[in-house]
Structure formats: C-alpha cells, structure tokens
Amino acid sequence: MTADAAAAYEQHFGRAPELTTYAPGRVNLLGEHTDYNGGYVLPMPLKGLGVFIAVGRGPAPGVVEAYSDTFNASETRKITDGKEGRWSDYVLGCLKAVAQEEIAETGLRVTLITTLPMGAGLSSSAALEVASIRAASELFGKPISPVEIAVKARAVENGFVGMPCGIMDQFASSVGTPGNALFLNTRTLDYQPAHLPDGHSFVIVHSGVSHQLTEDGYATRVAECNAACEALGVEMLSDLGPDDLDRLSGIADLLARRTRHVITDNQRVLDGLDALKAGNMVLFGQLMNASHASQRDDYEITVPETDALVEAALQAGAIGARQTGGGFGGSIVVLVPDAAVETVGQSLVDSFAKARVLAVT
C-alpha cells in the first residue's frame, strides 16, 4: 500500500517522491467525549485502515501542491496561507507547524491515499495530521517524538482547522500500536497498552450515516461541558467522580446530563481496563452497552441508525455494542466471540441496507 502512495505521486507529479509515511485510524472502545474534559479513553489504532502520504520538494519556494487520490482533487496553496475550509487545510496546518521555513525555501508536493472511509468516526482527520507531521519531520530532518506529534496534531486541529477536539485520536494514531488497545489519561498523557484477551473480536460497522464533526454538534457539546464546569465550580469535568453525581441536581438538567455522561463514561473506562486485565469480556460488553445508552440519553450524540444497529447487534448475539467516535452518525463497534463474527456481521449487513462491515480486529 505504501507503494500505491508513491505510485500516485509519480503518476500525478511525473517523478518519484522522496519519502512516504503512514498513520492509522482508530476505533474507540470506551470513553467518548471524555478527552476534552481531561478524562480517560480506551482507543485502538486499526490494522490496515489509515492514511498514506508521499512527499517531495518542489514545485517552487513556498508552494504546496497537494493531490488526494481519495478526493481525486488537487489543491495548490502557499505555506503562508491561513485556513480556507478545504481538505488541504489539515495538511497545510501540519506542514506549517513543523517546517514552515524549510517549505518557504523548497516548496512541497504531497500525495495522499486513504484506506479509511471519511466520516465513519474512525478519525481520518487525525490520521491525515499524524501522517503529514511525520512526513515533514522526516523529510526535513526534524525528529519529533510520537507524543509530541500527537500534541502538535491536536494543536493544528484546534488552532488552524478550528475543530475543538481532544487529543484521543491523534494520540492513538501516533503513539498506539495497530490492533492493540491503549489506555490514556488525557489530562496527564500517562498511557499504557491494554491487552485484549484471546477468543473475542471487535467488529466495526459503518451505519452509512456520515458524521461531520466541524458542524455544530461537537462544538456545542464542548461549550456545554465548559458551562457545566462553571456551574459546578471545577476546572474540568474530570475533577468529578461518581461521588459527585448527587451534586448534579443543583444545576440545569441539560448540563447535569452532559456531566453525568462524562463522569460515568470515565468510570467505565477504568472499569473496562480492569475487566480486560481480568479477561472478563462479559463485563466489558455490559460497559459498552451502558456507554451507548449514556451517549444516547445523556449526551444525545447517537442517531436512530446507530441506535438500531446496536440493538440489532445485541439481538444477533453480540456481547456488547456501542457507537464509536465523535458521534452524530458514523460507526458502531461490536464485541463478539470469535465464532460469531461472521453471523453477527452478516446479520447487520442483511438487515440494514446502508450498513457495511469495515473491519474485524
């Protein structure tokens, strides 16, 4: 697949690239919308689903020519440009963050290929950012640690693209190992790998409803959490734990429900980590189910299609299921015994015209 990014570069620009990089997407197993609240998350970088980038110097000082095989489109920008609301913003913001001066002298040609569907809730933006930063850092000989890449990528998304995300996706893509879950404390950036017991798989099913995080829903949730912090007199919602749930009767109902989701989903990540360590996948599945209900009822980020898919997955024999990622559509992640992967996946695809199995891990 790396060769494909190089081939696309060669085909588009008529010369070989100087180097290629890759960064994976992720599925999140537990802990949704907890990251920008300083909470816990449990994502897993995906095997074989990610973004490939090929780069080379040129065509002229300060000029960035970006070609996307996926969008079948090229965009020409200047390294000094600001945000323009185009896909190349993600690439440009990352290049500026790492090698603005160098690119002002050499220019840069970029080709990207993605095996990760856009809008599926599997963090295609973060993979694009991490792959872009890796490319600029390697090409211009400016080493950056994986954690620092994640921090920079999130800063680009917050400050340049204008999406107020947390750090989960960039961290999973840059620091994690595809196929292994990663427990992360998003406040301290302490992390540890989380081993998945044998005999079980996670099936990722796209609902067919594309989510678009730069639309209002995500930013509205961030603003609601900030309002809840103010109402409760805390710096971040992760300052609160299950013992604080009874304090929520003192604030507006909507803010109380948003806060309850964050407190309980944080706790579910901790309980889920313990369940994995104990090999208790039945408990892990129950935590996934509770997390979906909390996203649906308290955080209000699910859609009828993902609710129905989760229900159908459980009916078909799944141990647990939940919507994954930013929400408002996208994918669900389903926990099944290995022996049931085919039947559960097939039954969802048969029952829902738009459903597609994207990965089994």
* Residue ranges in contact with ligand GAF by CB under 6 A: 28, 32-33, 35-36, 123, 165-166, 168-169, 213, 325-326
CA distance between the termini of the chain? 19
What is the C-alpha to C-alpha distance for residues 194 and 205, in angstroms, rounded to an integer?
22
Residue position matching structure tokens 């597609």: 356
**Shortest distance, CB of residue 56 to ligand GAF, whole angstroms?**
30
**Shortest distance, CB of residue 271 to ligand GAF, whole angstroms?**
17
Q: Using an 8 Å Cβ cutoff, are 184 and 39 in contact?
A: no
- Which CB atom, from 57 or from 257, has the smaller least distance to ligand GAF? 257
- Which CB atom, from 20 or from 302, has the smaller least distance to ligand GAF? 302
Q: What is the DSSP letter of 70?
A: T
**Shortest distance, CB of residue 314 to ligand GAF, whole angstroms?**
22
What is the C-alpha to C-alpha distance for residues 116 and 50, in angstroms, rounded to an integer?
5
**Shortest distance, CB of residue 220 to ligand GAF, whole angstroms?**
13
Amino acid at site 290? A
Amino acid at site 359? A
**Catalytic annotation on 169?**
yes
CB atoms under 10 Å from CB of 274, counted, come to 13
- Which CB atom, from 108 or from 172, has the smaller least distance to ligand GAF? 172
**Shortest distance, CB of residue 157 to ligand GAF, whole angstroms?**
7
Q: Rounded to 5 degrees, what are φ and ψ at 28?
A: -100, 130
What is the C-alpha to C-alpha distance for residues 48 and 101, in angstroms, rounded to an integer?
33
Tell me the Ramachandran region of residue 333: left when phi exceeds 0, alpha when psi lies from -120 to 50, beta otherwise.
beta
Q: Which of 69, 169, 265, 271 is catalytic?
A: 169
- Which CB atom, from 9 or from 299, has the smaller least distance to ligand GAF? 299
Q: Using an 8 Å Cβ cutoff, are 170 and 129 in contact?
A: yes
**Shortest distance, CB of residue 115 to ligand GAF, whole angstroms?**
18
Q: Per DSSP, what are the bridge partners of residue 30?
A: 42
CB atoms under 10 Å from CB of 195, counted, come to 11
CB atoms under 10 Å from CB of 235, counted, come to 9
Q: Per DSSP, what are the bridge partners of residue 23?
A: 51
- Which CB atom, from 21 or from 170, has the smaller least distance to ligand GAF? 170
- Which CB atom, from 215 or from 342, has the smaller least distance to ligand GAF? 215
Residues designated catalytic: 169
